[in-house]
Amino acid sequence: MSSSNKYNRVLVTGAAGFMGSHLVDYLVDKGLEVYGLDDLSGGYMRNVNPKSQFTVLDLRNEAGVRNYINQIKPDLIYHLAADATEGRSHFTPLECTSRNYMGYLHLLIPAIRNGLKRMILTSSMSVYGNQQPPFTEDMPLRPEDVYGISKAAKEQATRILANVHNFEYTIIRPHNVYGPRQNKADPYRNVVGIFINKLLEGKQYFIYGDGLQRRSFTYIDDCIQPMAEAAFLDHLHGEVINVGPEEEITIKELSDIVLAEFFPDPADRKKFAPIHLPERPQEVKNAFSSNQKAKQLLNYQPKTSLKEGLGQMIAWARQIGYEKPKYLDQLELDSPNMPKTWKDKLI
């Protein structure tokens, strides 16, 4: 790995969020001067590293972001701030686009003006849509939801603006990351957090459809190191890299492991067997990626088994306890296709 003094001021957006806060910890431990930004819409002050310089700021506030960037002049940015509610984005397309795409441009434009050297953009597997998995980075961008559109748009804007304005970038596409600090009170996303939070409430959770949707899950520690180190490798400029394990499992299998880790007594596992509901609209059935490129370029080696990672997450979640899910007062579009769990606030 190259030296960590390549950059003077590092900014992490989404620094109070799940992945952003772990990334800040990693960079602080590496001895870097780290600035963090978050509007706390999905993150928590309890996640913020006290050794970082943290500011509460909403990326939709263009003038505020411009002033902030003019002051700190980051030469490296890890962009993680996002409205990451993929399944909700059909019902809140404006919220998703303004937070994700417009918010990103509000950040990127003053950063370029102030001498940005490298952008590490956190994209998502959602850009692949319904193509045949395992997804490889050379596949076309074919998102199936508004969230995926915003991620694809950010990728394209980065590529184009980097070519014209001469900064380096690397795009990371993680998938289904889980672990301690994940927001488990958001009823619209984070399947693992939702399952565990419901069990902490002493109730059964819900599975959409037959539970045979196939996914692969990444433990947070396995994702953060390659993401962080991507900034320090010269040969990664312009690369797009999937980060996550290749082993896929169904949501039903995931549920079985969560129950087994949560309840030592098999009788309890039976009592809390999940309740099945109709499929969600536009949900991609099977989504998992190839990680050959991450292994080659980033020395990516996932180490944590699902059982072990879920055990760690459950131990953390028990410390926090049950948290009441936070629903939006109103979605931008209502529809009979809206999941019953949201309409009737069942999560």
Ligand X SMILES: NC(=O)c1ccc[n+]([C@@H]2O[C@H](COP(=O)([O-])OP(=O)(O)OC[C@H]3O[C@@H](n4cnc5c(N)ncnc54)[C@H](O)[C@@H]3O)[C@@H](O)[C@H]2O)c1
Cα distance between residue 258 and residue 269, in whole Å: 9
Q: Considering the complex, state which of residue 42 and residue 187 has its C-beta at the smaller distance from ligand X.
A: 42
Q: Among 12, 35, 39, 135, indicate the residue that binds ligand X (CB under 6 A).
A: 39
When binding is defined by CB under 6 A, the residue of 58, 75, 145, 261 that contacts ligand X is 58
Among 4, 41, 204, 290, binds ligand X (CB under 6 A): 41
From residue 206 to residue 235, the character string flagging contacts with ligand X as x (rule: CB under 6 A) and all else as - is ------------------------------
Q: What letter represents residue 26's amino acid?
A: Y
- Check binding of 88 to ligand X (CB under 6 A): no
Q: Work out whether 177 is an interface residue with ligand X (CB under 6 A).
A: yes
Q: Which residues contact 100 (CB under 8 A, 6 or more apart)?
A: 82, 83, 147, 150, 151, 154
- Residue 38 within binding range of ligand X, rule CB under 6 A: yes
Applying CB under 6 A, which part among 80-88, 127-135, 299-307, 339-347 lies near ligand X? 80-88
User: Are 215 and 254 spatial neighbours (Cβ–Cβ below 8 Å)?
Assistant: yes
H or E element at residue 111: helix 103-113
Smallest gap from Cβ 268 to ligand X, in A, equals 28
Per DSSP, which regions of the chain are E strands?
10-13, 34-38, 53-56, 76-79, 118-122, 168-174, 177-178, 206-208, 214-215, 218-219, 239-243, 249-250, 275-277, 286-287
Instruction: Give whichever of 14 and 180 is closer to ligand X, judged by the CB atom.
Output: 14
Q: Tokens for 241?
A: 């890299």
Q: Residue 227 belongs to what H/E stretch? A: helix 220-229
- Please enumerate in sequence order all residues whose Cβ is within 8 A of that of 4, keeping only pairs 6 or more positions apart, or say none: 30, 31, 32, 232
User: Smallest distance from the beta carbon of 123 to ligand X, in angstroms?
Assistant: 7
Q: How far is the CB of 344 from ligand X (least distance, A)?
A: 24
Q: How far is the CB of 202 from ligand X (least distance, A)?
A: 25
CB of 122 to ligand X, least distance (A): 4
Q: Is 311 left (phi over 0), alpha (psi -120 to 50) or beta?
A: alpha
Answer yes or no whether residue 176 interacts with ligand X by CB under 6 A: yes
The answer to whether 155 contacts ligand X (rule: CB under 6 A) is: no
CA-based Rg of the chain, rounded to a whole angstrom? 19
CB of 286 to ligand X, least distance (A): 16
- Compute the least distance from the CB of residue 253 to ligand X, in Å: 18
Give Cβ neighbours of residue 274 (< 8 Å, ≥ 6 apart): 195, 204, 205, 206, 207, 211, 255
Q: Are 232 and 78 in contact (CB under 8 A)?
A: no
Q: Which of residues 99, 118, 184, 293 is near ligand X by CB under 6 A?
A: 99
Q: Which of residues 299-338 bind ligand X (CB under 6 A)?
A: none
In the complex, the smallest distance separating the C-beta of residue 82 from ligand X, rounded to whole angstroms, is 3
75 binds ligand X (CB under 6 A): no
Question: Binders of ligand X: how many residues, by CB under 6 A?
Answer: 29
Tokens of 135: 């997804």
CB-CB contact of 142 with 100 (8 Å): no
Least distance from ligand X to the Cβ atom of residue 80, Å: 4
DSSP 75: S
- Of 9-28, binders to ligand X (CB under 6 A) are 14, 16-20
Which residues contact ligand X (rule: CB under 6 A)? Answer: 14, 16-20, 38-43, 58-60, 80-84, 99, 103, 122, 124, 174-177, 183
